[in-house]
Structure 1
Amino acid sequence: MNAAPADQIRLLDLQALDTRLGQLAHKRTTLPEHAEIASLEADLTQHRDLLVAAQTEESDTAREQTKAEQDVDQVRQRAARDQQRLDTGVGMSAKDLENLQREVASLAKRQGDLEDVVLEVMERRESAQERVTELTGRVESVQAKVNDAVARRDAAVAEIDAEAASVTKEREIVSASVPADLLKLYDRLREKQGGIGAARLNQRRCEGCRLELDITELNEVRAAAPDQVVRCENCSRILVRTSESGL
């Protein structure tokens, strides 16, 4: 393939733009905020799960407390009725009064036991409420950190995308000035050779594979016409000759 030396040199400009686009794409996917957000979101999920568990416990103990207080109230009301009957003693035999006294005493003990249960449940509910308050604060704190990291990531991505858009426009202009067949070869090699399709021959060294050309290769390059498209024997990339090639 033949192409004017100026067109070949423009490949270096095109390569620089493509390299920058590759760098920007890599930078976009490896922003430190990505890992930071992933870590924070994992923490947030864990804290939310703990919060849900604490809220469930608080809700359960609230129902348990209500039930225990109702049991106490029922026993209290029954004891009050029995005590009233005992105080009046109307129409009751001595044995009935004795039995009623025992029942009142039993109800008093039962009421005391149930009140202890209420106190125990209240303590557990208070502990659950404190846990809910603590975890709510943690969730809010981690969420704030997530929001901050997301804002920083979005700002960084927007900046990268803006530069990438500018570089892409510039690439369109440069690529339009390169002959179609030369551009096709360059793009094919760039895709095959890890993003580099054309490399400068600098002081007898290919800047694509970083290997120095041997004497035979140098002689072949020296003998090539200025408009001949030369390829590196080692990496197959287009070798662009300049005044610094060392020929």
Structure 2
Amino acid sequence: MNATDRTPADLLRSALAADPARPLVTFYDDATGERVELSVATFANWVAKTANLLQGDLAAEPGDRLALLLPAHWQSAVWLLACSSVGVVAEVQGDPAAADLVVSGPGTLEAARACRGERVALALRPLGGRFPQAPEGFADYAVEVPSQGDRFAPFAPVDPDAPALAVDGVELTSAQLVARAREDAAALGLAAGSRLLTGRTYGSWEGLSTGLFAPLAAGGSVVLCRHLGQLGEEGLAKRVESERVTNSAV
């Protein structure tokens, strides 16, 4: 990654320039058997579409605060980078009533209704599938995002020193986030090409870092596992081998 990268969106642009075809996020849900692998290029395309939805249809502006009520999931990772691209503060498991807009999974819709701004719902179904029927009062992400543009340009440059992420009582600017991600990558022994397997949730900085930001900062990739405890030791060993895992943070 480039030393001049100061936002997560910068890190993604550098990854795209370096090797767009390599894997970036491999997601497993061990409760359903789902597996999704996204290359840097595919992930970046989802981020661009989501950022266009956020900036365009949802009229989000730099400094707005978005309550992100999603579990550790590949679509959660997309939303984190989309927020960074626009300059929106991602408040992971934040208070919807105090947020400018909310993005919710199927299990937190009632809590999300407290948001008086725009509301987006994700079904979190395999292959990014939509709800059978969109929840009342919410835009269905899977319906809205496909038609968005494949390229994104922010209306205003993102300030690296402005707040970017809030999680579990910690608030970081973009520059602080990138710096911490690099520190964590070094502590985990990550380098370009590393494959980090993690089963941590996205409810803490440690989970977000291992589940996205540290591998991205190192030029590596993440094997993000939800419900990893259901896999068992033998299954975990097979996954480590099949996914060519080099580092673990479970």
Name the TM-score class by shorter chain: under 0.3
Larger radius of gyration: 1
For normalisation by structure 1, the TM-score amounts to 0.19
In proportion to residue count, which structure has more helix? 1
In proportion to residue count, which structure has more strand? 2
Identify which of structures 1 and 2 has the higher relative contact order when contacts are C-alpha pairs closer than 8 Å and 6+ apart.
Answer: 1
